[in-house]
């Protein structure tokens, strides 16, 4: 059965396994985080972009393909939901380790970096980061106004946690750098 599964793992499914394997196999809480982490990775790994096919949706970028890939991985028991988190199983680890040659070291490092960066954000921080960085995916959002109202305090929080540079924090806040520095000083 293992060989049959390995033979049928798509690039998108492999990317999801890589995300779940990264950062010491730390689980990814909620479907929202999984969708956004995959979104961020495929925007970096351009050849993966078309297989994920993200669209603007209620909570920002969403991919039905990612949803199906996760369901496929769950059905093969390569991934499981454990206390609300998506985690890679031992079978998933075995399959990933057999197939990781399909991802370059640069891609594996990028996946690791994105997971470490995004996985410990709060939901608000995650959404402010994604919405501010990719506004073209907010057109269908039902919570855009609510998220944008929180931009400044969330950008300050991300900066103080050393998650983003001061320039990126100002951009997330939607402010000129000088104004953001003034707000930080208050």
Residue spans of the domains in the chain: they are: 2-120
Strands 85-88 and 60-62, sheet pairing: unpaired
pLDDT at residue 158 in the model: 97
Model confidence band, residue 49 (pLDDT cutoffs 50, 70, 90): low
1.10.10, 2.60.40, 1.10.8, 1.50.10: CATH of 2-120? 1.10.10
pLDDT in tens, 53-77: 899 999 999 999 999 999 999 999 9
- Asked if residue 107 has pLDDT above 70, the reply is yes
Residue 173 parent element (H or E): helix 166-173
Q: Report residue 182 as tokens.
A: 């003034």
pLDDT at residue 51 in the model: 76
**Percent over 70 (pLDDT), the chain:** 97
pLDDT in tens, 132-156: 999 999 999 999 999 999 999 999 9
Model confidence band, residue 84 (pLDDT cutoffs 50, 70, 90): confident
pLDDT at residue 55 in the model: 94
Query: Residue 9 to residues 2, 6, 57, 102, 131: CA-CA distances in angstroms?
Result: 11, 6, 27, 11, 31
pLDDT at residue 101 in the model: 95
Q: Report residue 170 as tokens.
A: 């100002």
- Asked if residue 182 has pLDDT above 70, the reply is yes
Range 31-36 average pLDDT: 96
Alpha helical stretches, state H, 81-150: 90-99, 105-119, 123-133, 144-149
Range 116-141 average pLDDT: 95
- Asked if residue 48 has pLDDT above 80, the reply is no
């Amino acid at each position: 059965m293992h060989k049959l599964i390995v033979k049928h793992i798509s690039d998108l499914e492999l990317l999801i396994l890589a995300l779940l394997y990264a950062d010491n196999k730390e689980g990814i809480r909620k479907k929202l985080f999984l969708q956004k982490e995959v979104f961020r990775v495929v925007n970096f790994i351009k050849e993966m972009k078309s297989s994920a096919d993200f669209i603007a949706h209620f909570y920002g970028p969403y991919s039905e393909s990612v949803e199906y890939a996760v369901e496929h991985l769950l059905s093969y028991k390569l991934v499981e939901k454990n206390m609300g988190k998506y985690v890679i199983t031992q079978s998933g680890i075995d399959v990933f380790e057999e197939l990781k040659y399909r991802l370059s070291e640069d891609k594996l490092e990028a996946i690791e970096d994105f997971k470490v960066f995004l996985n410990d954000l709060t939901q608000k921080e995650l959404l402010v980061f994604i919405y501010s960085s990719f506004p073209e995916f907010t057109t269908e959002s039902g919570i855009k106004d609510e998220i944008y109202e929180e931009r400044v305090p969330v950008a300050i929080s991300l900066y103080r946690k050393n998650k983003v540079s001061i320039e990126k924090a100002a951009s997330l806040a939607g402010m000129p750098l000088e104004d953001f520095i003034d707000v930080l000083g208050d």
